[in-house]
Amino acid sequence: MKTIITAAHLITPTEWIESPLIAVDDGHISALQSRHTMEIPAGTRHLDFPDLVLAPGFIDIHIHGGAGHDVMETDEAAREKIERQLARHGVTAYLPTTVTAPQDRILHALEHLGKAVTHSSRNIGRAVPVGIHLEGPFISHAKRGVHPPASLVPPSPAALDRFWQASVGTIRMMTVAPELPGAIETIAHARALGVHSSLGHSNATYAEARAGIAAGADHATHTFNAMRPLDHRDPGILGAILEDTGLTADIIADGVHVDPSIIRLFLRVKGEDGAILITDAISATGMPDGTYSLGGFAVQVKGNRCELEGKLAGSVLTLDRAVRNVMDFAGWKLQQAVKLATLNPAKLLGIADERGMLAPGRRADMVALTLKGEVVYTIIAGELCQ
């Protein structure tokens, strides 16, 4: 049955449209126009959000878990709980993100997640995994954060191939420290596989970071966190990330990982086209304070801080809160902030012809927001999530 969706406003996100009308057929948008120019056909289902703003569904490219569960668990029921929680916060697509662990554990998780990605179209009312983000084990010992040092692996095309094959070709992104021996060859190999290399967990010099970008790296992981600090005589990896207009970069905009003043600076430098919001959320997201798992190791959670031995270990941030924080911290408008969680990650992943924008031919994945960016409803493939 055709569905007609109407609202007070709509963010595409490149345009702001008043009194929109969206026609949905078979989970995709078949028409988008002003309500004043089209009558609602008789016999159609009508979803009306008279005081809300429609926007594309959010896309989180870096998330480890939520609702008490970790994406590296192999229980289907655990992943369903994570995906339903994501949908409640406006996320309609995501990259389940692994952490450094013994290789057999990573391979087992990749096998499970690869099957989830290839069968994701069966999910109803849940965020959809559109690929996997491999965070570790190709990272720097010096900037590993809480990733266990015993499980770090030198990057190599052969090592990447093992992970790629286990995932059934569903890895879409890997975080890599470009200064490590073998990293440049691995980045080039990843590019040939269609895997995006994201610079992160790195102590790289400026020259080493530039070499990684030249080899094919096109993104940066949780900018400022787990990176060599920026210095005016030693710009390091941050200098390369911030100056390169062709490199997108993501940030954890929770006010804990990065001070709001630095978030404002980051947004000013990378701009509306180069910045992406992520959560780096762990299993504790949406749960009370306590001890939770991140890829198999225990993390202490109190308030908005997740720590292991005094080091930050992921977050309890949700992507809708990150959008609102950009509005609060930087004074950005809702339309500007939404783009960082929709079209920008979709472009990075090469799926903007399907997701991240509301237009005819795209999937009918959208959120109904208040003008302050609060999620009221989430719609996935034209179906209202309950």
- Same domain, yes or no, for 14 and 138? no
Domain assignment present for residue 73? The answer is: yes
Residue 303 has pLDDT above 70, yes or no: yes
The average pLDDT across 1-17 equals 95
- The Cα–Cα gap between 53 and 335 comes to 10
Residue 1 has pLDDT above 80, yes or no: no
Residue 121 has pLDDT above 80, yes or no: no
User: For residue range 162-182, what is the model confidence (pLDDT) as tens digits?
Assistant: 999 999 999 999 999 999 999
Selection from 285, 311, 317, 137 nearest residue 226 by Cα: 311
Domain assignment present for residue 364? The answer is: no
Radius of gyration, alpha carbons of the chain: 20
- Same domain, yes or no, for 78 and 95? yes
- Same domain, yes or no, for 146 and 295? yes
User: For residue range 243-267, what is the model confidence (pLDDT) as tens digits?
Assistant: 999 999 999 999 999 999 999 999 9
Averaged pLDDT score across all residues of the chain: 96
Domain assignment present for residue 317? The answer is: yes
User: pLDDT grade, residue 346 (50/70/90)?
Assistant: very high
The average pLDDT across 319-334 equals 98
∠ CA 223-169-65, nearest 5°, is: 50
Residue 35: predicted pLDDT: 85
User: pLDDT grade, residue 296 (50/70/90)?
Assistant: confident
Q: Helix, strand, coil proportions of the chain in percent (round to 5)? A: 30, 30, 40
- Same domain, yes or no, for 227 and 373? no
User: For residue range 198-218, what is the model confidence (pLDDT) as tens digits?
Assistant: 999 999 999 999 999 999 999
- Same domain, yes or no, for 127 and 153? yes
- CATH assignment at residue 376: 2.30.40.10
- Same domain, yes or no, for 132 and 195? yes
Domain assignment present for residue 112? The answer is: yes
Catalytic residues: 280
Domain assignment present for residue 348? The answer is: yes
- Same domain, yes or no, for 85 and 173? yes
101 to each of 106, 139, 266, 351, how far by Cα in Å? 6, 12, 31, 29
Residues 6+ apart with CB under 8 A from 381: 27, 28, 363, 364, 365
User: pLDDT grade, residue 151 (50/70/90)?
Assistant: very high
User: pLDDT grade, residue 37 (50/70/90)?
Assistant: confident
Count of domains in the chain? 2
- Same domain, yes or no, for 151 and 169? yes
Domain assignment present for residue 361? The answer is: no
- Same domain, yes or no, for 31 and 72? no
Q: What percent of the chain has pLDDT over 70?
A: 99
Of residues 114 and 386, which shows the higher confidence score? Answer: 114
Q: What percent of the chain has pLDDT over 90?
A: 94
Domain assignment present for residue 324? The answer is: yes
- Same domain, yes or no, for 187 and 305? yes
- Same domain, yes or no, for 62 and 180? yes
Residue 85: predicted pLDDT: 98
DSSP 66-122: ETTEETT---HHHHHHHHHHHHHTTEEEEEEEE----HHHHHHHHHHHHHHHHTGGG
- Same domain, yes or no, for 308 and 380? no
Residue 39: predicted pLDDT: 79
User: pLDDT grade, residue 124 (50/70/90)?
Assistant: confident
User: pLDDT grade, residue 291 (50/70/90)?
Assistant: very high
Residue 297 has pLDDT above 90, yes or no: no
- CATH assignment at residue 241: 3.20.20.140
Domain assignment present for residue 362? The answer is: no
Q: What is the pTM of this model?
A: 0.97
Residues 6+ apart with CB under 8 A from 385: 84, 87, 88, 125, 126, 377, 378, 379
Residue 122 has pLDDT above 70, yes or no: no
Residue 148 has pLDDT above 90, yes or no: yes
**Residue 276 structural domain:** 58-355
CB 346 within 8 A of CB 363: no
Residue 245: predicted pLDDT: 96
- The Cα–Cα gap between 85 and 66 comes to 7
